[in-house]
Amino acid sequence: MIRIPLRPLARVLDARARGRDPAPIERENLRLRHEQMRDRTRRQAEWRLLFLAALFFMGFALIGARMGLLAASPPLEARPWQGENIAADRAEIHDRAGRILATNLVTNSLYAEMRHMVDGARAARELAHIFPEIDGESLARRLTDPERSFVWIRAHLSPEQVQAVHDIGEPGLLFGPREMRLYPNGRLAAHVLGGAGFGTQGVTAAEIIGTAGIEHRLDERLRDPARADEPLALSLDLPVQAATEEVLAGGMAMLSARAAAAVVMDAQTGEIVAMASLPDFDPNRRPPPPTEGSPTDSPLFNHAVQGVYELGSVMKAFPVAQALEMGLVNPETMLDTRGPLRVGRFSITDFRPRGASQSVRDVFIYSSNIGTARLAQMIGAEAQREFLERFGLLEPSPVELAEAARARPLFPSRWRELETMTISYGHGLSTSPVTLAAAYAALVNGGTRVEPSLLRRPQAAPGERLISEETSAVMRSLMRAVVASGTASMAEVAGIGPGGKTGTADKPNPQGGYYSGRVIATFAGAFPMNDPRYVVVVMLDEPVDTTGTEPRRTAGWTAVPVAGEIIRRIAPLLGVRPQDTAEIEAALGLR
Amino acid sequence: MRSFLYILTALGVMALAVWAYHENHRTQQAQAELHAIEREIRALREALSVQRAEWAYLNRPERLRQLAEMNFDVLGLVPLSSGQFGRIEEIAYPLPGHDDAPDPGLGHELGRVIETLGRIEHTAASPETTTMPQEP
């Protein structure tokens, strides 16, 4: 800005020279300058006003927007207060119909704070009176120890016990809220659920962590705070599970077996509807793991998933299916079954020889070891191994239990002709009942692979094709014949039309060789056989039937009647409509 | 005039202060009420979970089985079996023109069907119930 002087010398001198007064020039310039100053201050004032107005507008807009947001936000529901940053929420576990298998219960824990304690010795005495498992003397030592300021006494108390502790009247004994994992059905499905314990503990909350079974395997999902309200739906069906366990326990007691396992599986989706292993335990009071003896004798051991067994003749279904699938034989092809069959220094015999030659059908129905070994010879080691691998029999089961991944099937590293032959009738390859159930499901469901699962899976796409529809149909018909006229006749249930295969395998002796008179008896089958919906596997460890004149150990007298009773009980619960047995057999081409 | 305006403004400010105080108080009251309700919801939720657990505990299959066995002479409950399934053809349906023919009225007709079903059930005299737990 060019500042014009108030008395420009040139103009003043010029005015003087002309004899005029130079004062008006100065006045005029002064006026112009004042106008300029006035304009400037007005502009400044206008800017300030605008700025202030904008500031106020923004302030009000902010408040208005916040109020609007508050008014529009959905009301939040109160969550139980959780102190000390411990997430105590754990999702419930339900069965397939929404019945509770595991839930949480708020109880009280008991602790002592020394600064409030009046008479520690007396408190310890009284507590030992209320809780028999508390050692009064050691507790008294801890409660009177001047070094301590805080002592945990018990993880949870019942309301009656809380009242009894209140009645002691000791101000140093305090209660903290505690979520507790509760399995209202007690022993039911104990091995599936596993159990839970406390992780990090604080005064007002404690973290619940799964210690075994599905609680351990899906621990992260169950503890996820975002999904705590969403129960975990298992594929188990509570009534079916209860009936299976009841029948299995009865059978195990009657046949004085050491252990027993049963698996009921949906043949199409691989959902496990019931899984039982005996002896069992109460997951509410999970026993400590055994420190001596064989872990397989512990009630914690899940025989259906953790146990791998040489399952015997039930495995014959696989070489028969494979030989049919490869087109090597048809059910009427005659096989040489003269015994004993010598391979190297090993000889294979039949339990009940039935002549010099038998058809493939009879080899399966009457369970000929020699005939199956002949089939295995035709198939060859490499093809057999590949076939069993595709059925999932050579890898740990993918079922959602912490124990499953550690249960590796046992099979020989060198798979030669002799191994091929023994594996064909179920010796030399150890696998778990749940894996066998999944493999049988694939055999009978039309030939597609199923993945065993404990989670509710209403829609599962059919898996990879393992055998053709036709082979599967022949296998269904053969399995039905085993029940209708073969070794598993005691599994017959009128109107349900079950089918399957029995297996009696001598137990391997840890010192080498096999025990005589100690067997694993197995039944693997499905029902109704014209359109299999469920697969059942029942396994008994060292059963013996003593109702006859001599002890009988074969599966036909032990595992089969138990399986038959299980099928009879669960079929109506699963909504399997009874049909005419003649119609079922006609559909399978047996009549 | 000017002093009147001042007094008016002062009164306005005082009135606003009273209103603001009142609102503040009401907010605090509402919050206290909210906390009380939240506490109640929490307590009710806990009670609900306890009762759900108790329901599941009382309906556990083992207990129902024992109860069914203890009260067998009164209830006569046996495990569900395939023999208890029926076919729709097995239901005797009265022929039209017969004495038992249903009246044209729909309500009557339904009543008849139910009656017929009831009669069949009595004659069959088979236990229709299961020992399994029923969900609420």
Q: What residue segments make up the domains of chain A, in order of their start?
A: 93-233, 239-287+295-587
Instruction: Give the per-residue pLDDT at A200.
Output: 73
Q: Any chain A CB within 8 A of the CB of B26?
A: no
pLDDT of residue B133: 44
Q: How far apart are CA A78 and CA B36, in angstroms?
A: 10
B85:A577 CB<8 A: yes
Per-residue burial over A437-474, b if 16 or more Cβ lie within 10 Å, else e, is: bbbbbbbbbbbbbbbbbbbbeeeeeebeebbeeebbbb
Region A356-376 average pLDDT: 89
Domain A93-233: give its CATH superfamily.
Penicillin-binding protein 2a (Domain 2) (3.90.1310.10)
- Which residues of chain B are under the pLDDT cut of 70? 94-136
Tally of structural domains, chain B: 2
pLDDT of residue B112: 64
pLDDT at A84 over 60: no
Question: Given this model, what pLDDT does residue A128 score?
Answer: 87
Quick check: is A256 catalytic?
A: no
| Pair (B48, B100) in one structural domain | no
Q: Measured at the alpha carbon of residue A286, what is the angle toward residues A282 and A290, in degrees to the nearest 5?
A: 120
Is residue B11 a part of any domain in this protein?
Answer: yes
Q: Does the residue B72 lie in any domain?
A: no
Size of the A and B interface in Cβ pairs below 8 Å: 89
pLDDT tens per residue across span A147-173: 888 888 887 787 788 888 888 888 888
pLDDT at B108: 60
DSSP A465: B
Strand A232-233 to A93-94 pairing: parallel
Residues A293-302, mean pLDDT to the nearest whole number:
84
Distance from CA of B11 to the nearest CA of A (A): 23
H-only helix segments in A273-403: 317-325, 360-365, 369-379, 381-390
Chain A residue closest in CA terms to B54: A184
> What pLDDT score does A83 carry?
44
- Highest mean pLDDT among A83-87, A282-286, A582-586, B16-20 belongs to B16-20
The answer for residues whose C-beta is within 8 angstroms of residue A320's C-beta and 6 or more apart is A360, A363, A364, A372, A375, A475, A478
How many CB atoms are located within 10 Å of the residue A425 CB? 26
Give A98 or A351, the one with higher predicted confidence. A98
Residue of B82, B126, B130, B135 to mutate, testing the A interface (most A Cβ within 10 Å of its Cβ): B82
pLDDT number for residue A39: 95
Per the CB < 8 Å rule, is B85 touching A573?
no
Question: Which of the residues A313, A367, A368, A432 is marked catalytic?
Answer: A313
Residue B134: the pLDDT is 43
Q: Does B53 share its domain with B100?
A: no
Average pLDDT, chain A: 87
Residues B46 and B86 in one domain: no
What length does chain B have? 136
pLDDT at A554: 86
Determine the pLDDT at residue A48: 96
Q: How far apart are the first and last CA of chain A?
A: 118
| A283 neighbourhood in chain B, CB within 8 Å | none
pLDDT confidence of residue A26: 86
Does residue B127 belong to the interface with chain A, where contact is any CB pair within 8 Å? no
Q: Give the per-residue pLDDT at B130.
A: 41
Question: What is the spatial distance between Cα A286 and Cα A183, in angstroms, rounded to a whole number?
Answer: 11
Residues B118 and B86 in one domain: yes
Given this model, what pLDDT does residue A88 score? 58
User: Do residues B50 and B101 both lie within one domain?
Assistant: no
> Do B54 and B92 share a domain, yes or no?
no
Residue A66, SS3 per DSSP: helix
| Mean local confidence (pLDDT), A197-205 | 74
The span from the CA of A146 to the CA of B82, in Å, is 71
Contact A442, A466 (CB under 8 A): yes
Percent of chain A with pLDDT over 70: 96
CATH of domain A239-287+295-587: 3.40.710.10
| pLDDT confidence of residue B15 | 97
Q: Which amino acid is at A74?
A: P
| Burial of A214 from C-beta contacts in 10 A (0-12 / 13-18 / 19+) | buried
What is the DSSP track for A560-585?
Answer: HHHHHHHHHHHHHHTT-----HHHHH
A170 half-sphere exposure, CB direction, 13 A CA radius: 26
Q: What is the pLDDT of residue B135?
A: 41
User: With a threshold of 0.90, does the pTM exceed it?
Assistant: no
Q: Please report, in angstroms and rounded to a whole number, the separation of the first and last CA atoms in chain B.
A: 78
* Complex-level ipTM beyond the 0.90 threshold: no
Comparing CA positions, the residue from A155, A212, A471, A182 lying closest to residue A319 is A471
β-pairing, A173-182 vs A534-541, is unpaired
Residues of A in contact with B60 (CB under 8 A): 184-186, 188
Q: Is B62 on the interface with A (CB under 8 A)?
A: yes
Residue B67 in any domain: the answer is no
The CB density around residue A586, as the number of other CB atoms within 10 Å, is 12
What is the per-residue pLDDT for A441? 94
- The residue of chain A with its CA nearest to that of B58 is A184
Inter-chain CB proximity B133 and A81 less than 8 Å: no
User: Is residue B103 one of the residues assigned to a domain?
Assistant: yes
pLDDT given for residue A85 in this prediction: 47
- Cα–Cα separations (whole angstroms), residue A247 to A261, A472, B59, B76: 11, 30, 19, 20
> Cα torsion for A81, A82, A83, A85, to the nearest 10°?
-150
Among A100, A492, A581, the strongest candidate for a mutation testing the B interface, having the largest count of B CBs within 10 A, is A100
- The residue segments making up the domain with residue B94 are 81-124
Q: Is residue B39 part of a domain?
A: yes
Would the pLDDT of A531 be above 70? Answer: yes
